[in-house]
Structure 1
Amino acid sequence: MPVNKKKTITFLFILILLSLFLSGLVYILFLKKTKEDPKQSSYDSRSEVYWQRLQNRPEVLIGPGYPQDLRDFLETLRGKESYLWKGDRDKTYEYLLETYPDERAHVLYALYVAFMNWKEKSLELEQREDLSSYEKLTAVNRMSEQIFPLMIRNLIFPKHPTTPPVFLLSYLEDYVQKNPYSYSRERKRIFLKKKKELYQNEKWEIQSWESPTFLRQVIELIYSREILEMSEEEKTSYRNAKLEELKADFWN
């Protein structure tokens, strides 16, 4: 084999190895980083030990001397860090040490770092244009499940009757956007099925918390194809009829 041909083959072989190496390096530095476990950024060097302890003993947060409304406490602390201390986390730590001169300061700091991790990742999700409202809500909810143990999650994000209607409406919006040619009977079917899943046995309490425009928004989404072809007079009577019909179906 000619010498030049051997050199060419050797050179090509080296190029292939180099490209494989660079591909692996890109994967390690970038792709793997994007799949980072949210839990890994839920603590810093000061909070790691207490955050790990809090995983096993979340009940300490309902003990004497701890804030009763943890979500309000964390949001207030976030505001102070942002506006009073210009984002200086050290100032937040010092403030907690001064306000809670015992183990509570360390526990609350650990909780705050985890909360801010959830907050930052949630904001990133909410700013994504490739996700629908429902997909964003679902992703943010899943993020809280990944970061916080169940008891801590329930303390920071207690269940509220206004939440299911928001999820339900965004779910229907998402379905209609992805299935623009679906028939109203199919939209209504998946809507009522999802409603049953979200409301469960608390539908009467949840109903009292629905916004006044909730069912009207639902009507517009379910029957948008039919309404589009009607005159203004027909639309009014049709909407009212479907509203009464949906109320009957909704609470049976």
Structure 2
Amino acid sequence: ERTAVFMVTNPNTLGLFERDIAKVADMLHSVGGLVYIDGANMNAILGKTRPGDFGGDMMHYNVHKTFTGPHGAGGPGAGPIAVRDFLAPFLPAPVVTYDTAKNWYSLSTPVKSIGHVRTFFGNVGILLRGYFYIRTLGGKGLREASENAVLNANYLLSQVKDFLEVPHGDRCMHEFVASARKIKEQSGVTTMDIAKRLLDYGFHAPTVYFPLVVEEAMMIEPTETESLQTLDAFATALRTICNEPADLVKGAPHTTAVCRPDEVNAARKPVLCWSAPEC
């Protein structure tokens, strides 16, 4: 009775689909609660299932992940939000409205809106890019994108599970979480060491130490765009690293201009401006 909104990521960060999500949504709706879907992993279920069908009342889409927008520090990012019709009157203004009588689009303010939440519309360009991507692929293409993302993730999982622990099963959706826990116990090599060593092989490391429910976590998401050759090369690099001498891995990277910055000191004493070196 004290729950207003329940937020859930589905599929979840472990790359698993929450099969009981409809039951959870029904429990919340029965006491007047709402279900907010985190669309971070929508790229696993495009054309397969609709969040509204399993109980979602509102949801944000990650354009940068699902609809081809740039991902990471460069940005720009954008997160459009979709809601059920009964929530539409509360959306912040302005919203694009289609006038059927005049056959044109205009900006309007919903009847129960709080108005503007900021003076700028956000990164409109990246939203257009996502829209063009959707229109270019169409329904069939978007479904194939999800199928390829899931296929790539499961293939990669099959290639690494004999030397990296995968605590949550032999199958996944678009991503899976491996663990270097046993390697750390045996040699002292950590997930961070493996991530740094991957740079020497020309690969950007996957997300590490997240989610927190997996010790020495390594979240691997190849997406729908990687080729079989790239997946095999990545798996081979991981296998090689896991069998290299511990001292070599713990000292990585060896081929970059900067090896390992002092991350603690950098966080406590950030250098936010650049100055020319003294001659």
The TM-score range, normalised by the shorter chain, is under 0.3
Q: Which has the higher contact order (CA 8 A, sep 6+)?
A: 1
Answer 1 or 2: which has greater helix percent. 1
Question: Normalization by structure 2: what TM-score?
Answer: 0.21
Answer 1 or 2: which has greater strand percent. 2
Question: Normalization by structure 1: what TM-score?
Answer: 0.23
